[in-house]
C-alpha cells in the first residue's frame, strides 16, 4: 500500500475496552490510541540499511525518515544517515553532506520552514548543529543555524520533534545536566520568537537508561517515547505518558504500549497524525535490515490543542536561597570537602555545604568526589527545588565491612548484558579505585527470586564477571577485585511487585581492605 493511501485512510469509530492479560501492562488511565489488527512492514520504504527517526507531515501526505548509508559493520558507533522523503509511491533523499547523522525534527512557519539536525564527529567527541531551511516543495534553500540558548549535546545520538502547533520542541540528548545517557528535554517558543533553554522532563520520564525518539501528540499533553530504562518486552520499548501541568515536569506514570507494538527487539519512533487512522514506528524484529518502518491501524480520541506563547524569562531583582548538604550515609554528619556542580549556564567547584542564591533554579548535576567516600553523580531536577529548600545528599564511606550498592548498574532482564547507562556508574567506581590504591573490594551479584534458583545463581555470577571484566579493562589490577554471585538469596525487598523485584536485581561491592 502506498504512503498517501496509508495517511488518507479513516476507520469508523469503534469504542471498546482493551484489557491486557499480562497484569504488568494493565492501565489505570484510558489508553490514548486503540490498535486494530497487527502491524505490517511498509515494504516500499524498507531496505537492508537502518530506517529511523520518523516524521509525518500534513504538508501533502509525507513521511520523512532517516536511513544509514554506510552501515558496513553492525558494531560501529557512528553511522552517517541521509534524510529521505516518501510521497505517494516515490522516495528520494535530500541533498546533504555524507559525513553527518541527519535527522528531521519538524516544520515551522506554517510548514514553510524545515528544521533538522546534523551531528558529526569532532575530535574525540561529537558536535550537533540545529539547522532551519526554507522548504521549497521538498527541496531545501537558505539553510542557516537554528538557535536555542544553552543547547548542548555530548552524545553521538540526537533526536527531536516539534509539536503540531509549532510551540514546543521535545529533544532526546545528553546535555550538561543529565540523569542517564540520553534524556528528554523540552524547549518552548517565546513571545519574542526565541526558543527557551532546554529543560529536563524530570524523573517521571527520564531514567538511568536512554530515552529517545520523542513524539508529542496533537493534544500537546500525550508524549510517546522509546526507552531501555524500564521493564519491558525487549531492549527498547515504546511508552506513553500524559503531562499533568504546565511545568512539563509532572507526568502520569509511563505506560508500555504492549505486545501489539513492542517485541523482544527494539521499537522506536512511534507517531501519527491528527485525523488519520494509521500510526508508524520502527522495529528491528523480522526486519529487512537493522530497523524497518511498520504501520498499524489505530483510533484516537485525542483532541487538537494550541498552546499560547511562553513569555521569556525576566530576571528578578530579589534572590532566593537553596542549600545542598553532603552527609555521611552512616553517621549522617556533615562531610568536609568540595564537589562540582553543573547547570545550563554554569560549572563550579564548591565547598560543602553549598548555598545557591538565584532568582530561578534550573536542573543541577552534582559530581561528588570526596576522599574516603564513594563517588556520587546525581541530577537534581528543577521541580525538586520547588518542594525543598535544603537537599541532603548521602555519601557512602569506604570503611572496611561496608557494603555499597552500585545504584545504576542495570541489566536487561534475564541476561548479563548491561543497559547502556550502567557504565556511568561503573566509571564512578573506577575513579574511586584509582584514587584509593589500597582499596580492595568484593563484588556481589544479586537477582530477584523469580524463576529457577540454580539459573539465578549462575546469572548472578555471570553479572559479577561482566562488572569485574569492565573494571580490569579500565585499568584496575585483578588482585584488588574478588566476586561472587548470591542469586536471589538476599533480596532487599520481599514484596512481590515488579517494582520491588527490580530493586533486588543489583550489584554491590563489599570493602575488604582500605
What is the C-alpha R_g of the chain?
24
Express each pLDDT in 386-399 by its tens digit.
778 888 999 999 99
The DSSP element (H or E) to which 153 belongs, if any, is: none
Does the 403-513 domain belong in CATH 3.40.50.10800?
Answer: no
**Is 115 a residue whose pLDDT tops 60?**
yes
Mean pLDDT of the chain: 83
pLDDT of residue 23: 35
463 within 8 A of 455, measured Cβ to Cβ: no
Q: Quote the cell numbers at residue 7.
A: 495517511
Count of H-run helices and E-run strands, the chain: 5, 31
Measured CA distances, 373 to 80, 426, 478 (Å) = 42, 15, 22
Domain topology for 3-300: Tachylectin-2; Chain A (2.115.10)
Closest CA to 116 of 92, 88, 84: 84
Count of C-beta atoms within a 10 Å radius of residue 5: 12
User: For the chain, what percent of residues have pLDDT higher than 90?
Assistant: 38
pLDDT band at 161 (very low <50, low <70, confident <90, very high): very high
CA 286, CA 267: separation in Å to the nearest integer?
12
**Is 278 a residue whose pLDDT tops 50?**
yes
All CATH 2.60.40.1120 domain ranges in the chain, comma separated: 320-395
249 within 8 A of 200, measured Cβ to Cβ: yes
pLDDT of residue 310: 58
Closest CA to 67 of 93, 39, 89: 93
167 within 8 A of 195, measured Cβ to Cβ: no
Does the 320-395 domain belong in CATH 1.20.1250.20?
Answer: no
Long-range CB contacts for residues 274-279, cutoff 8 Å, separation at least 24: 274/164, 274/218, 274/302, 274/304, 275/10, 276/7, 276/8, 276/9, 276/10, 277/9, 277/10, 277/11, 278/6, 278/7, 278/9, 279/33
pLDDT of residue 257: 93
All CATH 2.115.10 domain ranges in the chain, comma separated: 3-300
326 against 289, higher pLDDT: 326
Q: Is 337 exposed, middle or buried (0-12, 13-18, 19+ CB in 10 A)?
A: middle
DSSP state, residue 385 = H
Non-local (6+) Cβ contacts of 245 within 8 A are: none
Highest mean pLDDT among 54-58, 83-87, 108-112, 211-215: 211-215
Q: Please, what sign has the CA dihedral across residues 174, 178, 181, 185? A: negative
127 within 8 A of 145, measured Cβ to Cβ: no
All CATH 3.30.1330.60 domain ranges in the chain, comma separated: 403-513
In degrees, rounded to 5, the angle at the alpha carbon of residue 347 between the alpha carbons of residues 78 and 409 is 55
pLDDT of residue 186: 93
**Is 21 a residue whose pLDDT tops 50?**
no
Closest CA to 213 of 186, 241, 252, 173: 173
Per-residue pLDDT, averaged over 8-14, amounts to 41
Express each pLDDT in 237-269 by its tens digit.
999 999 998 888 889 999 999 999 999 889 999
pLDDT of residue 344: 62
**Helical residues (DSSP H) of 388-506, grouped into ranges:** 422-435, 453-473, 498-504
Q: Is 430 helix (H, G, I), strand (E, B) or coil?
A: helix
CA 179, CA 177: separation in Å to the nearest integer?
7
pLDDT band at 97 (very low <50, low <70, confident <90, very high): confident
396 against 341, higher pLDDT: 396
Express each pLDDT in 224-241 by its tens digit.
999 998 888 888 999 999
Per-residue pLDDT, averaged over 359-383, amounts to 83
HSE at residue 233, side-chain half, CA atoms within 13 A, is 22
pTM of the model: 0.67
Q: Within the chain, what is the greatest distance between any pair of CA atoms?
A: 71
CA 478, CA 440: separation in Å to the nearest integer?
10
CA 63, CA 54: separation in Å to the nearest integer?
7
3 within 8 A of 64, measured Cβ to Cβ: no
Closest CA to 45 of 285, 296, 278, 292: 292
Residue with cell 494550541: 306
Residue with cell 476507520: 11
Amino acid at each position: 500500500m502506498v504512503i498517501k493511501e496509508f495517511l488518507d485512510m479513516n476507520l469508523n469509530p469503534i469504542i471498546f475496552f482493551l484489557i491486557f492479560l499480562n497484569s504488568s501492562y494493565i492501565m489505570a488511565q484510558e489508553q490514548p490510541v486503540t490498535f486494530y489488527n497487527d502491524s505490517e512492514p511498509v515494504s516500499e520504504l524498507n531496505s537492508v540499511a537502518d530506517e529511523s527517526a520518523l516524521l509525518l507531515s500534513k504538508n501533502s501526505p509525507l513521511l520523512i525518515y532517516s536511513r544509514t548509508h554506510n552501515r558496513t559493520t553492525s558494531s560501529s558507533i557512528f553511522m552517517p544517515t541521509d534524510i529521505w522523503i516518501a510521497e505517494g509511491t516515490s522516495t528520494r533523499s535530500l541533498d546533504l553532506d555524507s559525513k553527518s547523522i541527519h535527522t528531521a525534527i519538524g516544520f515551522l512557519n506554517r510548514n514553510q520552514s524545515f528544521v533538522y539536525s546534523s551531528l558529526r564527529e569532532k575530535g574525540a567527541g561529537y558536535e550537533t548543529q540545529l539547522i532551519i531551511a526554507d522548504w521549497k516543495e521538498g527541496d531545501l534553500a537558505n539553510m542557516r543555524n537554528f538557535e536555542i540558548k544553552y543547547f548542548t549535546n555530548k552524545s553521538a545520538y540526537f533526536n527531536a520533534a516539534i509539536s503540531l502547533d509549532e510551540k514546543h520542541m521535545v529533544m532526546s540528548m545528553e546535555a550538561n545536566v543529565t540523569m542517564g545517557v540520553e534524556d528528554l528535554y523540552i524547549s518552548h517558543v517565546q513571545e519574542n520568537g526565541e526558543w527557551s533553554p532546554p529543560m529536563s522532563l524530570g524523573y517521571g520520564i527520564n531514567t538511568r537508561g536512554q530515552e529517545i525518539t520523542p513524539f508529542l501528540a496533537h493534544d500537546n499533553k500525550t508524549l510517546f517515547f522509546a526507552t531501555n530504562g524500564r521493564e519491558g518486552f525487549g531492549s527498547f520499548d515504546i511508552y506513553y505518558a500524559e503531562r499533568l501541568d504546565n511545568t512539563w515536569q509532572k507526568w502520569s506514570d509511563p505506560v508500555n504500549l504492549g505486545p501489539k507494538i513492542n517485541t523482544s527487539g527494539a521499537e522506536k519512533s512511534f507517531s501519527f497524525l491528527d485525523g488519520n487512522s494509521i500510526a508508524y514506528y520502527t522495529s528491528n524484529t523480522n526486519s529487512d535490515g537493522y530497523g524497518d518502518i511498520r504501520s498499524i491501524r489505530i483510533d484516537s480520541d485525542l483532541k487538537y490543542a494550541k498552546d499560547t506563547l511562553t513569555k521569556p524569562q525576566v530576571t528578578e531583582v530579589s534572590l532566593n536561597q537553596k542549600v545542598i548538604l553532603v552527609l555521611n550515609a552512616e553517621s549522617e554528619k556533615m562531610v568536609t570537602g568540595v564537589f562540582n556542580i553543573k547547570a545550563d549556564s554554569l560549572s563550579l567547584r564548591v565547598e560543602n555545604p553549598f548555598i545557591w542564591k538565584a532568582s530561578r533554579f534550573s536542573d543541577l548535576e552534582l559530581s561528588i568526589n570526596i576522599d574516603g567516600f564513594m563517588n556520587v553523580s546525581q541530577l537534581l531536577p528543577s521541580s525538586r527545588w520547588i518542594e525543598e529548600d535544603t537537599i541532603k545528599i548521602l555519601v557512602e564511606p569506604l570503611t572496611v565491612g561496608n557494603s555499597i550498592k552500585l545504584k545504576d548498574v542495570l541489566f536487561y532482564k534475564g541476561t548479563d548484558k548491561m543497559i547502556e547507562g550502567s557504565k556511568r556508574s561503573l566509571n564512578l567506581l573506577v575513579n574511586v579505585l584509582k584514587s584509593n590504591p589500597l582499596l580492595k573490594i568484593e563484588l556481589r551479584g544479586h537477582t530477584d527470586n523469580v524463576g529457577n534458583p540454580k539459573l539465578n545463581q549462575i546469572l548472578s555470577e555471570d553479572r559479577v564477571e561482566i562488572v569485574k571484566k569492565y573494571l580490569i579493562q579500565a585499568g584496575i589490577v585483578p588482585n584488588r577485585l574478588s566476586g561472587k554471585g548470591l542469586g536471589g538469596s538476599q533480596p532487599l525487598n520481599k514484596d512481590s511487585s515488579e517494582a520491588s523485584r527490580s530493586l533486588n536485581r543489583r550489584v554491590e561491592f563489599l570493602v575488604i581492605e582500605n
